[in-house]
């Protein structure tokens, strides 16, 4: 019977982890290099060096390809943390391949040829054991220490309300959304604005898709485009509900990426953002949408001049009553923020923007896939730290990743009857 040892699994010895990485990389690179070299040899040279290749040429080609496959299998799943357990099977495959070669050489009466194979088989065995038992690579982030201190004070006025304004969705694959996600699984990404009604003035969190969303998508480089379905814009939904625009103080951005700001094209209100995000947007090369839609808007910069908040180093209390508190989370972009909202019922929300794209990022402790961390996040380490902070808070609040429709469940839609007539 195999019983998991959670303590050991949670924090494998660092030295073993590093030693395994060195061995694993060396083994992988050696196999890939050997396989590629063998395949690149002209056949007469190959047979001169490996006399058996003349007897069984197909075996020569097949084993060279298996060398390369084994080398990739030993390195890639661990490196990408996509199905990292595959490393164990790849390493066992290498052991099997090398032992077969040993037997083959012995049968041919060439025992001296078996040395490299025995060395590689041993390395494969150590890697397989190490990544199985000693220091397995986890696709998941470690379990963070739960938040146990009292929650910060919040005095949301009784009239405060929260509404969701879904403006459409775009489709992507789970494999591109969370580490270990399936290539075959489709995910619909929400583009939803959230309206906070407050006696001191209302604010939207992000703006969703705008009237010019198609043009905005066309302006993106092709790798950022995805199949999408557009719904009513936030502006249209506000009008349909008979909403009084004079109440709207502006749009509070989680960050400036196109799918969060597109709707600014039809909202003539100030944009609330940090100086850092303004700078990020100005320097963005692959996303020109903010530049286009922010023209003519007043920009209200706010400082993180408040105390540390729920594990984050500083904060900005938007209304001064603790109901809407913004904290820096400068990992997805260099000026990203998280917006904590407490409503009169006492329910707390964390609008985390694109810290994770999907809720399983937080509930299952899954980072974005490696490639997306590299392409889409400014500072993957900061993202990880902020994910850990949010994961620690899960028991106390409702986490809303900007693009997960599940996150918005329970937040009512804006309908004529839900806009109070004050
Ligand atoms: Zn986004």
Residues 241-294: pLDDT tens digits?
999 999 999 999 999 999 999 999 999 999 999 999 999 999 988 899 999 999
| CB-CB neighbours of 158 under 10 Å | 7
Residue of higher predicted confidence among 9 and 176 = 176
Average pLDDT over every residue of 25-42? 96
Phi, then psi, of 87 in degrees rounded to 5: -50, -45
Of 144, 143, 138, the closest CA to residue 180 belongs to: 138
Ligand 1 midpoint to CA 238 (Å) = 22
Report the C-alpha gap between 137 and 151 in whole angstroms: 34
Instruction: Give tens-digit pLDDT for 323-363.
Output: 999 999 999 999 999 999 999 999 999 999 999 999 999 99
Ligand 1 midpoint to CA 30 (Å) = 40
Instruction: Give tens-digit pLDDT for 294-308.
Output: 999 999 999 999 999
Q: List, in sequence order, every residue forming a beta bridge with 404; answer none if it has no partner.
A: 189
Ligand 1 midpoint to CA 225 (Å) = 12
Assess whether pLDDT exceeds 70 at residue 421.
no
Report the C-alpha gap between 272 and 337 in whole angstroms: 11
Ligand 1 midpoint to CA 258 (Å) = 7
Ligand 1 midpoint to CA 227 (Å) = 14
Pick the CATH number of 161-418 from 3.90.1150.10, 3.30.43.10, 3.60.15.10, 1.10.1450.10: 3.60.15.10
Ligand 1 midpoint to CA 245 (Å) = 25
| Start-to-end CA span in the chain (Å) | 67
Ligand 1 midpoint to CA 259 (Å) = 5
pLDDT of res. 264: 97
pLDDT of res. 417: 66
Assess whether pLDDT exceeds 50 at residue 146.
yes
pLDDT of res. 22: 96
pLDDT of res. 82: 74
Report the C-alpha gap between 178 and 209 in whole angstroms: 23
pLDDT of res. 418: 58
Ligand 1 midpoint to CA 329 (Å) = 14
Assess whether pLDDT exceeds 50 at residue 3.
no
Average pLDDT over every residue of 88-99? 96
Ligand 1 midpoint to CA 106 (Å) = 59
pLDDT-based confidence at 133, cuts 50/70/90? confident
Ligand 1 midpoint to CA 289 (Å) = 13
Contact predicate 154/321, CB 8 Å: yes
Q: The dihedral of CA 323, 327, 329, 333: what is its sign?
A: positive
pLDDT of res. 7: 35
Ligand 1 midpoint to CA 208 (Å) = 9
Contact predicate 264/251, CB 8 Å: yes
Assess whether pLDDT exceeds 80 at residue 1.
no
Ligand 1 midpoint to CA 189 (Å) = 9
Contact predicate 160/197, CB 8 Å: yes
Ligand 1 midpoint to CA 342 (Å) = 23
User: What would you report as the CA-atom Rg of the chain, rounded to the nearest whole angstrom?
Assistant: 27
Contact predicate 413/194, CB 8 Å: no
Contacts of 322 (CB under 8 A, 6+ apart): 152, 153, 154, 155, 156, 342
C-alpha distances out from residue 130 to 40, 216, 248, 354, Å: 33, 49, 58, 34
Assess whether pLDDT exceeds 50 at residue 76.
yes
C-alpha distances out from residue 246 to 202, 268, 318, Å: 9, 10, 18
pTM of the complete model = 0.75
pLDDT-based confidence at 184, cuts 50/70/90? confident
Average pLDDT over every residue of 87-100? 96
Question: Which segments within 226-315 are labelled E, that is strand?
Answer: 228-230, 248-252, 271-273, 299-301
Percent of the residues in the chain that have a pLDDT greater than 70, as a whole number? 95
Assess whether pLDDT exceeds 50 at residue 5.
no
Q: Find the range with the poorest average confidence among 192-201, 338-347, 370-379.
A: 370-379
pLDDT of res. 236: 97
Q: Residue 42 CA to chain centroid, in angstroms? A: 45
Residue of higher predicted confidence among 48 and 134 = 48
Place of tokens 């920009």: 299
Ligand 1 midpoint to CA 354 (Å) = 5
List the structure tokens of 267: 């909202």
List the structure tokens of 109: 């009466």
Q: Is residue 309 helix, strand or coil?
A: strand
Summary mean pLDDT of the chain: 92
Ligand 1 midpoint to CA 232 (Å) = 18
Provide the edge-to-edge strand list for the sheet that holds 186-197.
Answer: 228-230, 161-173, 186-197, 202-205, 248-252, 271-273, 299-301
Report the C-alpha gap between 56 and 66 in whole angstroms: 16
**Parallel/antiparallel/unpaired status of strands 299-301 and 271-273:** parallel
Residue of higher predicted confidence among 181 and 262 = 262
Ligand 1 midpoint to CA 38 (Å) = 46
Ligand 1 midpoint to CA 400 (Å) = 12
Residue 81: left (phi > 0), alpha (psi -120 to 50), or beta? left
The residues spanned by each domain of the chain are 6-134, 161-418
Q: Residue 349 CA to chain centroid, in angstroms? A: 20
| CB-CB neighbours of 279 under 10 Å | 12
Contacts of 403 (CB under 8 A, 6+ apart): 189, 190, 191, 259, 354, 357, 358
Ligand 1 midpoint to CA 323 (Å) = 24
List the structure tokens of 347: 């329910």
pLDDT of res. 6: 36
Instruction: Give tens-digit pLDDT for 379-419.
Output: 999 999 999 999 999 999 999 999 999 999 999 999 876 55
Ligand 1 midpoint to CA 268 (Å) = 22
Assess whether pLDDT exceeds 80 at residue 2.
no
Place of tokens 């090398």: 98
Ligand 1 midpoint to CA 385 (Å) = 19
What single DSSP character describes residue 288?
A: -
Assess whether pLDDT exceeds 90 at residue 198.
yes
Residue of higher predicted confidence among 83 and 71 = 71
């Amino acid at each position: 019977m195999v019983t998991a040892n959670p303590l050991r699994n949670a924090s494998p010895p660092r030295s073993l982890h590093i030693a395994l990485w060195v061995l694993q990389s060396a083994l992988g690179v050696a196999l890939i290099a050997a396989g590629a070299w063998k395949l690149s040899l002209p056949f007469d040279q190959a047979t001169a060096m490996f006399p058996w290749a003349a007897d069984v040429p197909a075996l020569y080609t097949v084993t060279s390809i298996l060398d390369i496959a084994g080398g990739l299998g030993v390195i890639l799943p661990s490196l990408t943390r996509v199905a990292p357990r595959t490393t164990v099977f790849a390493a066992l495959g290498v052991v099997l391949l090398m032992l077969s070669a040993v037997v083959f050489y012995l049968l041919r009466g060439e025992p001296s040829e078996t040395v490299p194979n025995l060395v590689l088989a041993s390395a494969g065995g150590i890697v397989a054991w190490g990544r199985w038992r000693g220091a397995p690579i986890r696709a998941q982030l470690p379990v963070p220490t739960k938040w146990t201190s009292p929650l910060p004070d919040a005095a949301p006025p009784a009239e405060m309300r929260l509404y969701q304004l879904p403006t459409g969705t775009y489709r992507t694959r789970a494999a591109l959304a969370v580490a270990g996600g399936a290539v075959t699984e489709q995910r619909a990404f929400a583009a939803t604005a959230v309206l906070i009604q407050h006696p001191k003035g209302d604010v939207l969190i992000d703006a969703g898709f705008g009237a010019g969303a198609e043009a905005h998508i066309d302006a993106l480089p092709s790798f950022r485009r995805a199949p999408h379905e557009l719904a009513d814009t936030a502006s249209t939904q506000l009008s349909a509900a008979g909403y009084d625009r004079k109440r709207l103080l502006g749009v509070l951005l989680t960050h400036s990426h196109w799918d969060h700001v597109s709707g600014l094209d039809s909202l003539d209100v100030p944009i609330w953002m940090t100086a850092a995000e303004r700078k990020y947007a100005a320097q963005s090369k692959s996303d020109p949408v903010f530049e286009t839609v922010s023209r003519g808007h007043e920009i209200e910069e706010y400082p993180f001049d408040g105390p540390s908040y729920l594990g984050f180093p500083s904060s900005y209390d938007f209304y001064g009553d603790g109901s809407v508190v913004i904290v820096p989370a400068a990992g997805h972009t260099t000026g990203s923020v998280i917006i904590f909202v407490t409503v009169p019922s006492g329910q707390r929300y964390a609008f985390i923007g694109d810290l994770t794209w999907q809720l399983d990022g937080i509930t299952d402790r899954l980072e974005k896939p490696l490639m997306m961390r590299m392409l889409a996040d400014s500072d993957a380490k900061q993202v990880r730290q902020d994910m850990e902070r949010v994961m620690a808070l899960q028991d106390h609040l409702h986490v809303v990743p900007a693009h997960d429709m599940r996150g918005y469940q329970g937040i009512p839609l804006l309908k004529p009857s839900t806009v109070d007539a004050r």
